[in-house]
A and B are shown apart, each in its own frame.
Chain A
Amino acid sequence: MNTEIERTDALPYGAELEEAPVEARTQWSLVWYRFRRNKSALVGAVVVAVLIFVAIFAPWLAPHDPTKIFDNGLTLEGTPVGPGKAFLLGTDALGHDQLSRIIYGARISMTIAVVANGFAMLIGVVIGGLGGYFSGVLGMVMMRITDIMMAFPILLLAIALVAVFQPSLWIVIGVIAFVYWTPVARIIHGEVLGLKRRDFVDAARAMGLGDIRIMLRHILPHVLPVIIVYGTLGIATNVLFEAALSYLGVGVQPPTPSWGGMISDGQLYYRAAPWLVVFPGLAIMLTVLGFNLLGDGLREALDPTQRNRA
């Protein structure tokens, strides 16, 4: 009773509060609000946007044809030309313009990483989701398959697979998707396993909804943040993986420029032309950094309770 009176006494403050603008916010506008206050996330978003732009508009941005061998692309001694006016980032051992190759390399690297990750997410979400939802025999079999996949030395598996099928853009994409769906399946499996025991799923079932509808309309939206975060961070992992494959000579084959392949070719001339190793590596690092920052930013924006986690 006493407190009631006190509150009435404090009316001026209460009145002030009522006048304060109350903005209705949807879940996604809150996410956007948290995201844009995170500086490193914004940096990541800008880097990724620029890279996508470069990849799409490569023919207009590149100063030269990346496969053209220039007459003045080698010094009189036959060594690569250093960075300078004619060739901004120098030339490679064959006399190609390196800047143009790096710009076109963005296309290859991004295409492989993004498409492969899309497939890996799709397989992972379907298998992990079904395994988690029907957590009987089906779920167990699916998780044992991921156990087997995760016990493989993935780089060796990928090298062997590419060797079997002969390297090409689509084979590399397929192989990366094939070796990387398992961690996604694991995570989604765990999420769905927790979600399906929640009351709203029971309620949906009690209303007579079918399994497919419950999965798509009630469970999937809850898993969406996880899919978005791993969909972004996975691209970073794939860029690195594709670079490693190309470096080992089992990625996309020359003359198509790939960053890893450029480093592999350039390392033979590292004494005379270190820029052949340095610049493609920086391109890889910038791309991976962009997607990592963006992914971390999305994670924090989508799930603020995880703020301090790695």
Chain B
Amino acid sequence: MTTYIARRLLLAVLVVWGVSVLTFVLAYMVPADPARVYAGSNATAQTVAHIRQQLGLNRPLPIQYVDYVNRALHGNFGISYKLQTPVLTAIMSRFPYSAVLALAGIFVELLIGIPIGILAAVKRGSWLDHSAMGMAMLGVSAPQFWLGLILLYSFGYVWPIFPLGLAQGPTSIVLPAVTIGLGGGVWYARILRSSMLDTLSQDYVRTARAKGIRKVAVVARHALPNAISPVVTMVGLDMAYFLGGIVVVESVFGWPGIGQLAYQAIQNDDIPLIMGTVLFASVIIVLVNIVTDVLYAFLNPRIVYD
């Protein structure tokens, strides 16, 4: 297990390095002149040239890259051209918003997915199963931003239960979280249903029933713990992607998370901020995936990692 984790971490370093190279090359393909972006539109040619010199933008690309990595390893990701604040500070000020939204979204996903998944499996072939799976199919087919807009229109405007627009008080998280949760939740239900169906047909479940244990207890204590691991994997994947910012949902609700920050950075040709947000999201994806796999091994001791 220790060697497995060590190897995964080594691989993670390699992956993050690859992402950094790709992002760096990509960022410098942006047609805008970063020195001009930094100087602002009123700057003279002289000022722009001076800033280019100051930022070291006139040096060869590989040297700029080595310099960037060197500074990044010391926690310095540069200064955002647009915001004029350190990139890391900007990311850290937005991260709590993305984190809260990610957790709330996954909470709604589980709230929808687990009960529906279990019921659909236990009542296999019933109207409940059919309608749940039909809803699941519709849910995964609806574009997330559209679902968000419909929810916003319905529960923010027609029936004004939740606040419209920006983060206003604790209830403003409900609609974005439900937007994430609806599409993901029905997917969880689908996965859990099929995993439960496999588990419910196992001998030990029949044995438990034969011993006279009530059906509810068999499902809750014998079947569910063995059927839940695919859902754990999905939660891990979602967590990994959500923590780095959910661009579309943040955009619909004006949620000030990392997704919005990154999106605006791209719009503004703010290269240090583009680099920073993409790298941050990638590191989170890599790390959360490792944690998920380790957790998975604990939940499912039959898995042998070599």
Contacts and interface: CB of A to CB of B under 8 A. Distances in A.
Q: Decide whether A and B assemble into one complex.
A: yes
Interface of A: 40, 144-145, 147-148, 150-153, 155-157, 159-161, 163-164, 236, 240, 243-244, 247-248, 260, 263, 267, 270-271, 274, 277-278, 280-281, 284-286, 288-289, 292-293, 308-310
A106 to B, nearest CB: 15
B266 interface: yes
A263 B145 CA distance: 9
A184 B138 CA distance: 24
A178 B194 CA distance: 32
Given A148-B19, A152-B281, 9 more contacts: A148-B18, A153-B278, A160-B278, A163-B267, A164-B30, A281-B143, A281-B150, A292-B137, A310-B191
A310 B266 contact: no
Nearest to A160: B266
B15 A151 contact: yes
A163 B30 contact: yes
B239 interface: no
A153 B141 contact: no
A271 B266 contact: no
Contacts of B11: 144, 147
Mostly, the B contact residues are helix
Contacts, number: 141
B141 A310 contact: no
A77 B37 CA distance: 41
B245 interface: yes
For the complex of A and B, list the 8 residue pairs with the smallest distance between their C-beta atoms, beginning with the closest. A148-B18, A281-B146, A288-B141, A289-B141, A153-B281, A310-B190, A310-B191, A310-B194
B217 interface: no
Given A153-B282, A274-B153, A147 B15 contact: yes
B124 to A, nearest CB: 9
A289 B137 contact: yes
A248 B26 contact: no
Given A277-B153, A285-B138, A247 B145 contact: yes
Interface of B: 11, 14-16, 18-19, 22, 26-27, 29-31, 137-138, 140-146, 149-150, 152-153, 157, 187, 190-191, 193-195, 197-198, 230, 241, 244-245, 247-248, 251, 259, 262-263, 266-267, 269, 274, 277-278, 281-282, 285-286
A277 B146 CA distance: 7
Given A151-B15, A289-B138, A293-B137, A157 B278 contact: yes
Contacts of B274: 160
A269 to B, nearest CB: 11
Contacts of A289: 137-138, 141
A152 to B, nearest CB: 6
A157 B285 CA distance: 14
For B11, B19, B141, the residue with the greatest tally of chain A CB atoms inside 10 Å of its CB is: B141
A244 B250 CA distance: 12
